[in-house]
Amino acid sequence: MSTWLLPYADLTPDQRRIVEAPPDQHRLVMGFPGSGKTQVLVHRADYLRKRLGSPPGRFRVMIFTNVLRDYIRSGLDLLGLPLNSVCTFDSWCNAYYKSHIGPRRRGSGGDEGTSFEMTHAAVLQRLRGDRSEWGHLDFALVDEGQDLRPECFEILRLAAKHITVFADPQQQIYEEGASLERIRENLGLARSQTALLAAFRNSPDVAALAAFFIQDDERRSQYVSQSRFRVCERERPLYYSAASEDAEYDRLAEAVRGRQVLNQRVGILVARNQLVFRVASALRQRGLHVERAVPQFKGAYKSQIEARFDNNVPKIATFHSAKGLTFDAVCMPRLNETSFVRFKGAQRRRILFVGIARAIQWVFLSSVKGEPFEEQTLFEAAARTGKLVIQQAGTKASHTAAPCQDDYSVL
């Protein structure tokens, strides 16, 4: 069976220590991109359910998106973990609401965010008032904890006897997500009780570019110093400035084909769901077979995700849906203000960091010349320091005097 999951014996000593940490207290684990958080998460679920003798209904592994659940499915099958024990926090909360309170209500005007807030508040009130429901889960493991609201951890603290949370503030997408300090406070942990996982995924060139999007100096230094990846072939990321949108798609298709020749897994990441379908259509018109890693809709209901993760077909996803996923090469087209209009300030840098950090080996970025993009200055700064190759339409690489073997910037 093909699977992304490493055998337990292949985990690092630090990873194994977290897997086997006793459930005598709640745990908070901070891990950079590529630190193996998802590996540790799944192995810890297997370890705890065996140690505690927990049947499927007595534990939950809470991941950020259903796309990630499909991604890790092969690892769950390998360990015999039931798929229905893995869900998002909101889907678990909705199920609890329906079974203990009643049919779920929608927010005013059908707003999904308001509806989730109402559900959280009702579930929290129910748990506070019903001690018989306290600890009805033996354990709950939470991935991407930085994007859950603070009240989610109070809900979990009442519902589960043990909680392990994996988090990385630099990958926070939602402004209302909990800080590490709030997570510690809600779990009753001191700062010294936070475990740290080193990063092993990103090549030095990918890590160097991603670091440009970390605003905090201490975290930036920590991220770069924690990178442990060893790679024989060095490839600088490439930024292509196209003459038109059609030309941008032509160059994107060329980049994807180049990676397929190398038998690499390719992820194409965009800012909005509409762009997933638009870019997929453009690439299919250029003869590329691609899969969209977003839920399909039938009427008012989400149906199965189109993408399968047991093949090397390029996947197209939003930055949001790509959290937790790993690709050999990542392509990020349509970098402009129109694409990122919903995202503001530091949130935009974190989203770009999330996208770049999905890559193991190489990153391709693109835009149309003349289309404004606030973060363009950061890419130009990266190019001036040799961390990125910028290529203008119809020219070879610019903004760097360093030699490169070809258009794909192999050093």
Rounded to 5 degrees, φ, ψ at 316 are -115, 130
Domain residue ranges in the chain: 8-197, 204-392
- pLDDT greater than 50 at residue 160: yes
Q: What 3-state DSSP class applies to 143?
A: coil
**27 vs 75, which has greater pLDDT?**
27
Q: Does domain 204-392 have CATH number 3.40.50.300?
A: yes
pLDDT tens per residue, range 167-188: 999 899 988 899 999 999 999 9
Report the C-alpha gap between 81 and 69 in whole angstroms. Answer: 12
Residue 41 has a CB neighbour count (10 Å cut-off) of: 25
Contact in structure between 252 and 286 (CB atoms under 8 Å)? no
pLDDT at 187: 92
Q: Amino acid identity, residue 58?
A: R
Residue 131 has a CB neighbour count (10 Å cut-off) of: 9
Both tokens of residue 224? 């770069």
Q: Choose the most confident range, by mean pLDDT, from 28-37, 96-105, 122-131.
A: 122-131
Burial class (CB in 10 A: 0-12, 13-18, 19+), 135: middle
- pLDDT greater than 80 at residue 130: yes
pLDDT at 388: 96
pLDDT at 394: 72
Q: Does domain 8-197 have CATH number 3.40.50.620?
A: no
pLDDT at 66: 86
Both tokens of residue 40? 């540790």
pLDDT at 301: 42
- pLDDT greater than 80 at residue 233: no
pLDDT tens per residue, range 21-58: 999 999 999 988 888 899 999 999 999 999 999 999 99
Report the C-alpha gap between 406 and 411 in whole angstroms. Answer: 9
pLDDT tens per residue, range 247-282: 999 999 999 999 999 999 999 999 999 999 999 999
pLDDT at 61: 97
- Evaluate whether 8-197 and 204-392 have a shared fold: yes
Neighbour-count burial for 196-208, b at 16+ CB within 10 Å, e otherwise = ebbbbbbbebbbb
pLDDT tens per residue, range 353-406: 999 999 999 999 999 999 999 999 999 999 999 999 999 987 654 444 343 334
pLDDT at 7: 92
Residue in the structure block whose two tokens are 């707003």: 111
β-bridge partners, 398: 390
